[in-house]
A = this chain, B = another copy of it.
Amino acid sequence: MNISRASDYAIRGLVYMAKQPAGTVCFVKDIAKNTNSPASFMSKIFQTLAKSGIVHSFIGTKGGFTFNVQPENITIKTVIEIIDGPILLNRCAVNKSACNEIDNCDVHYMWADIRKILIKALNAYSIADFAKDKKNNKEVLSEVINF
């Protein structure tokens, strides 16, 4: 029950970009250095982010990456799904046809339920939230939502 290192790197890389002046073209080399991640791995990750459309890539000298979608509109859920694929939790969380017990699965509704909650939480934070002053980065949701 963890996110991948790759998603973690992606989020940190995008946060680094969001901290630069708007429109700055960022090199993978710098993104990697500032997030303590392997440059070659980060390069792969940003290729994937570029293919998804949330960042734009420029080849050549002075090439690099810029945001193609505003950091305010890139949620944590978006990033995780681009890098790791859909959030399923277990095999039968989304549709019954994927469940090996088909119509008779006991835990189907539970996982669908927990998945909904998790996705809402992951969508509640955007990349832009982390480029702001850190003292605002408190545990917002879990204080507001008491269940």
Q: Within 8 Å CB of A62, what residues of B?
A: none
Chain A: interface residue total (CB-CB under 8 A): 46
Pick the contact of A12: B11, B106, B130, B144 (CB < 8 A).
B106
List A110-147 residues whose CB lies under 8 Å from chain B: 110, 112-114, 116-118, 120-122, 124-125, 129-130, 134, 137-142, 144-145, 147
Number of this chain's copies in the assembly equals: 2
Q: Within 8 Å CB of A91, what residues of B?
A: 8
Asked if A87 is an interface residue, CB under 8 A from chain B, the answer is yes
Asked if A45 is an interface residue, CB under 8 A from chain B, the answer is no
B139, A125: Cβ atoms under 8 Å?
Answer: no
B106, A113: Cβ atoms under 8 Å?
Answer: no
Asked if A76 is an interface residue, CB under 8 A from chain B, the answer is yes
A145 to B113, CA, bound (A): 11
